[in-house]
Structure 1
Amino acid sequence: MANASVEKIKALGLRHGEKAVMGVTAAICLMFLYMAATRPTIETTPEEVRKAASQAESNISRRQGEEDILKLLEAENIKNPNFEKMVDEQASNKIDAIAFRVASPWVSPEPGAGLIRDTPELIAPTQLVAYPGRGGVLIYEIKDGERVPLPPEDPNAPQNGLPQSRLNRRMQMASSGMMGGGMMTKKQQEQVNKKFEKDTQRVKSLLVGEDKSKAKEAEKKADATAGPFKETTKGLRWVSITGVLDYKTLRENYLTALKRKEVAYPHFKQVDIERQALQEDGTWSEWEQVDAEKNHEVLDNLPEHDEEWVPDPVRLERLVDPLPFLKAGYWEKVHVASLVPKEKKEVAKPQLNSGMMPGMMEGNMMPGGMEGGMMPGGMMNSGMMDMSMMEMGGMGMMGGTASDDMSFVHNEEELLMVRSLDFTVDPDTSYRFRLRIVVFNPNLKREDVAPGVDKNAIELAGPWSEPTEMVSVPADVATYALQKVASVGTTDQVQFEVTKWDPGNGVMVVRRFDAGPGDVIGSPFVVDIPNSDGTGSKREKIDFNSRQVVLDAMGGSRPIPKEIDNSRFEVPALSLVVRPDGSVAMKNQAFDEPNEVRKNVLETYNREKAEASSNKARESSSYFGGMPGMGP
């Protein structure tokens, strides 16, 4: 039972407790108010504040005399340490570094001791230029996945190291344009000068990029292994993608990651290629990987490589696809100008009326030919891949194991050339490409790596480059509007240039046709087809029918109003044509005439005809015992 007294106190607290608390609070508040009211007030006036500020400003601004400062320093017992005397004494008593040498030499740490490795930061190739091409590639004949051996009795069996047909092609490229010695007529001098200008322009067409640096040329030794195998000429389309890699920056990234300079070199594996195709609605397709296996069906079966202008130190095989030897056509935009030695880019000027044979000198500088003659021993290696690069050390080197195998090719160059060839492009299609480098993982199976470093992947891929500019692969039968021609009756006509490429042998022929509304552009016509075997050109009927019909044409000469000038001006030819698929396309002289690909195709065709004729003349003159290019 509850206590009665406790219950009474509880009831009293519940009834009157809050009144007691409020009374205590009011008493405390009254006490604080009384204390505040009885405190003295601040007696500082504004005049006193102004006076104190004025005195402070006077003290700060007052200048102190030198004697007062000295007296103050003496009072504080601060004396002149005589620094000048101290410096003179130190100069007379020079410190001997030998006295501070360490008792024992510094000890180099064991490889990797205390050095935690990281993943190197890879970079993308830059300055990429994509350029289309077509031609006849010399390639080994393949049957059931194997090269076909060449029977000894075959007329194309090697003579002096190379098949005669290939020697003829080398001879025609290395010595084309040779003329007899002695004094030249004015017409011959003009021909020589024109040839010099063409050769100079030809050199420029082979180069890509801006020419800023120099490098030394290193000759690549021939690889005379295996064979002989049967060779064939195969027509191929391609796009070459050429650029550079900042090798210096990449090595610096490796040094940052791997910590040791002697191993800070990337071991390249390959270059990956991706491309986009331009669709009919003007948009780009998704990025897709280029079929590397189909490209290597060509690159791994080359009897011979064309001449390289970029020296070996900056042209590593893992980054640069080789140039197949062309039996028809010529390479364009495949050498980086800044990496080509000066002597390769200069065409020797002809020595007019000097008694020398200009062709003998000029021939050595002909693009695409062998420098300094035609000896087989000086030619590029066969299509067999350089075994010194294929496999130094097998998987041990491929992965960069803990032994840090450095037997792969590496050097101290600042820039490296990058070049990829895509032989899988389709005609009459526009593309753009991007590249990335792939290296073997330097941290494969290592334990001295930072947390999170991938030590299991065999290879590492770098970032993708910026896409190239759009590059268009011409149709096998391509048409270009060149100029407005005289009307036939009431019909306006345009002169078209039609280029016909034979995918079978890679030969390109060119012919011009006039066509107006309702006409089909091109028709069968007999033209010269150059041969590379020394038999000159042959006449053959070629079907130039483009399957394109002219809808309308305009352009040509137009009068200027007499109020302005009593003369005429030329309007570029413009034509609408219906393509074989039913779509309508515009052919414009303003775009087609300066088209670089069109001009290179025409130049190549004319040059091959001229070289085939001069090669035939040399073959004929050799029957009289004379030198090629000279009279009997």
Structure 2
Amino acid sequence: MKFSLKFRRKNKAEDPENAVEETAATPARKEKKFSGAAVKRWLFLHGEKVATGVVVALLALMVYTAIGKLELDSNQTPDDLKSRASQIREKIDNATFPADSFPVPDFSRQVKQNSVKLAAESYQIRNFTGDEQGPCRRCDPEILPPQQLEIKAGHGLFFVAKNQVEEEESDESDKQLDAREFTPELTSQLGATAPPEGAQSMGKRWIAVNALVPYQQQVDAYDSCFLRCLGYDRQEDWPKYTHVNVRRIEMTPDAEEDWDEAKQWSVDENYLARLQDTWAGRGNDPVPQKYQVAGLIQPLGPLADGTWSGWASHSQFAESLPDDDSTQPRSDTTPAGMGPAWPGGSRPAVDPTRPPSGPNSMGMDTAGTPDTAEAAPATRPPLTKFKLIRVFDFDVEPGKSYRYQLQIVIKNPNGKSRGLPAFYLDNPEIKDEELRESEWSQSSGPAWVPLDANLYAAGIVPPTEDSPEPAAEVIVEILEIAKGTQPAGKMRLHRGEPLQGEAPLQYADVQSQKVMIDKQGKIDTEYTLLDLRLPQPTSVGPQSPAELLFMDDRGNLVLRNTVDNASRVERFKAIEKVASSQPTKVPDTPETPPADRDIDEWEDKKKRRR
């Protein structure tokens, strides 16, 4: 608001008495002007008062509302609510259902009344095979590589052909060994059979490589390419494996894995034929036939001592293997349908002069003249999820570690040998090669080849007054490659002592059926006893076995316990019992060579028996 008033200013120079008052130019009046500046000024001066009033009013409203809610309606008191809940519960408990008002239908009778018997002959079901749109062209199926490689090293005695054993020059170290005849109890416990005629034992080292082939997936891949396509033939369009390629690298601390520089070879018919030419028979195969396919299985060699149960199969087929294949007879003849160069076949050594019989590696019946024989058609193996791949590497050295890769080679189902027209094939170029190869498998884990000495824990001798430290009893089997023997002896060691010294040695010679004894034997190994542990009692069962820890000269650790080695210890005790018996008195009679045998051969055999 602005009042327009004017007053006359008083001049100081004027005389107060003569001064004249200035009157207002206009009469006094009240003016009201509303402008933005005036509103802002008013809000600035009085806005907080308005806000304070609003807040006070809201607070008063909230207090009034809260005070008004302290009282409940007459029908919402706790006693009233409790009473009504009790009435409803009582009403529910006393409720009755009139069963007669809702009868249960007789569904069985209704089904019989409403059932209609259908005549199958009135319906014609068409079998759709996919040929309605015409046959397709043949594609190139994928060749699946091996899976889940498992490797295990070992060594033992083989029965080999006589010409495979190199003659050793006798020196001053050759000793005359004592001999004891096998007892019936020892023969039964060893389960040893007489070797084939003309065979000799020889030590061998090996690494067994077992893997899986996804056979069912491979068959499905074939069916997807051929089943509804041109030129389909059930007798031809299935996976026909020819052989396995193997490559190996040696593991060294300072070298990287370079598979391009790996040693490589093919386990094909020629390889198997050359290998079995050196064998005198073959070993019993514990793997069921349904998991074996020609071209993927390397046959088992004729072990002179023991069985192949630890090396012959993959863990995938463990439930299918017999508990003990040593009770099954060893076969030295070729089974029907298996050739000498095929897995499961053999080159009989019982009678080398007998002409071979049965189909050979090319499916030809060799009972007559091979030129006039007819080829035996191949049959499809039974369909299983996996088939076994088994190869052996006999060219290994003790104390070294190796890794392996496998590759499958398969006959090309679209190859030129099938004689398929080019327009049958989706890509005519796929018929140029007769063989197809899979990708290389993933590399296996490392396998360490044990030294030529087997260690077995025989027990632990507790400390005594004379020996405050416990002593370990160790049985050592020494593999003699060239001699084809595996003498064993027992030593007693303390912690930190090397496994070396003099001890009587004995071994069972299955060729002569005698226990050979070297009373002045020497044991010289690269092992040292690091530690031992006495049997410990347990709360849940029998006490834990005694354990022995060894280390070789390359730093590899070997652990043995009395439970796992119990069978080999019992075997050693049985041989030791015969070795400690008195020799059989036999009158001295001069040996003369048979009239129908060459004198050199007789002298050689006599020398080896000694």
TM-score (norm 2): 0.51
- Does structure 1 residue 464 correspond to structure 2 residue 440? yes
Q: Number of residues paired by the alignment?
A: 395
- Does structure 1 residue 593 correspond to structure 2 residue 560? yes
> What is residue 159 of structure 2 aligned with on the other side?
138
Q: 1:369 to 1:282 in 2, by over 3 A?
A: farther
Query: SS state of the match for residue 523, structure 1?
Result: strand
> What is residue 444 of structure 1 aligned with on the other side?
415
Query: SS state of the match for residue 158, structure 2?
Result: strand
- Does structure 1 residue 326 correspond to structure 2 residue 303? yes
* Residue 498 of structure 1: how far off its partner (Å): 3.9
* Residue 474 of structure 1: how far off its partner (Å): 0.5
Q: 1:490 to 1:278 in 2, by over 3 A?
A: farther
> What is residue 544 of structure 1 aligned with on the other side?
523
Q: Residue 125 of structure 1 aligns to which amino acid in structure 2?
A: P
* Residue 460 of structure 1: how far off its partner (Å): 0.9
Query: SS state of the match for residue 297, structure 1?
Result: helix
Whole-angstrom distance in 2 between the partners of 1:444 and 1:99? 44
Whole-angstrom distance in 2 between the partners of 1:549 and 1:375? 41
If you compute each CA radius of gyration, which structure gives the higher value, 1 or 2? 2
Higher relative contact order (CA 8 A, sep 6+): 1
- Does structure 1 residue 307 correspond to structure 2 residue 284? yes
Q: 1:480 to 1:304 in 2, by over 3 A?
A: closer
Whole-angstrom distance in 2 between the partners of 1:139 and 1:233? 6
* Residue 485 of structure 1: how far off its partner (Å): 7.7
Q: 1:128 to 1:458 in 2, by over 3 A?
A: same
* Residue 514 of structure 1: how far off its partner (Å): 4.5
- Does structure 1 residue 367 correspond to structure 2 residue 325? yes
Tell me if the contact between 2:332 and 2:346 (Cα under 8 Å) persists in the aligned partners.
no
* Residue 118 of structure 1: how far off its partner (Å): 1.8
* Residue 141 of structure 1: how far off its partner (Å): 3.3
Equivalent position to 1:521, from 495, 499, 511: 499
Q: How does 1:549-628 map to 2 (within 5 A)?
A: 579=553, 585=555, 587=557, 592-594=559-561, 599=564, 603-604=567-568, 606-607=570-571, 610=574
- Please list the CA deviations of residues 24-65 of structure 1 after superposition, one character each: whole Å capped at 9, or x if unmatched: xxxxxxxxxxxxxxxxxxxxxxxxxxxxxxxxxxxxxxxxxx
Q: Residue 463 of structure 1 aligns to which amino acid in structure 2?
A: E
Q: 1:442 to 1:493 in 2, by over 3 A?
A: same
* Residue 269 of structure 1: how far off its partner (Å): 0.4
Q: Comparing both structures, which one devotes a greater share of its residues to helix?
A: 1
Q: How does 1:362-401 map to 2 (within 5 A)?
A: 367-370=325-328, 382-383=346-347, 388=359, 390-392=361-363
> What is residue 210 of structure 2 aligned with on the other side?
242
RMSD, aligned α-carbons: 5.4
Q: Residue 404 of structure 2 aligns to which amino acid in structure 1?
A: F
- Identical residues among aligned pairs (%): 16
Q: 1:267 to 1:337 in 2, by over 3 A?
A: same
Tell me if the contact between 2:219 and 2:239 (Cα under 8 Å) persists in the aligned partners.
yes
Tell me if the contact between 2:453 and 2:476 (Cα under 8 Å) persists in the aligned partners.
yes
* Residue 335 of structure 1: how far off its partner (Å): 3.4
> What is residue 417 of structure 1 aligned with on the other side?
388
Q: Residue 409 of structure 1 aligns to which amino acid in structure 2?
A: T
- Does structure 1 residue 279 correspond to structure 2 residue 256? no
* Residue 116 of structure 1: how far off its partner (Å): 1.6
- Please list the CA deviations of residues 39-92 of structure 1 after superposition, one character each: whole Å capped at 9, or x if unmatched: xxxxxxxxxxxxxxxxxxxxxxxxxxxxxxxxxxxxxxxxxxxxxxxxxxxx99
Q: 1:605 to 1:431 in 2, by over 3 A?
A: farther
Equivalent position to 1:270, from 206, 224, 243: 243
Q: Which runs of no fewer than 5 residues in structure 1 stay unpaired?
A: 1-90, 145-167, 179-198, 200-227, 347-365, 395-404, 558-568, 621-632
* Residue 501 of structure 1: how far off its partner (Å): 1.0
> What is residue 475 of structure 1 aligned with on the other side?
451
TM-score (norm 1): 0.50
Q: 1:265 to 1:133 in 2, by over 3 A?
A: same
Q: 1:370 to 1:612 in 2, by over 3 A?
A: farther
- Does structure 1 residue 432 correspond to structure 2 residue 403? yes
Q: 1:576 to 1:334 in 2, by over 3 A?
A: closer
Q: 1:570 to 1:235 in 2, by over 3 A?
A: closer
- Does structure 1 residue 531 correspond to structure 2 residue 509? yes
Tell me if the contact between 2:460 and 2:546 (Cα under 8 Å) persists in the aligned partners.
no
> What is residue 317 of structure 1 aligned with on the other side?
294
Q: Residue 379 of structure 2 aligns to which amino acid in structure 1?
A: V
Tell me if the contact between 2:548 and 2:560 (Cα under 8 Å) persists in the aligned partners.
no
Whole-angstrom distance in 1 between the partners of 2:509 and 2:242? 39
Q: Residue 145 of structure 2 aligns to which amino acid in structure 1?
A: A
Whole-angstrom distance in 2 between the partners of 1:242 and 1:436? 12
- Please list the CA deviations of residues 571-630 of structure 1 after superposition, one character each: whole Å capped at 9, or x if unmatched: 9877777x3xxx6x265xxx512599xx56x7447437748989xx9xx9xxxxxxxxxx
Q: How does 1:203-282 map to 2 (within 5 A)?
A: 230-259=198-227, 260=232, 262=234, 263-281=236-254
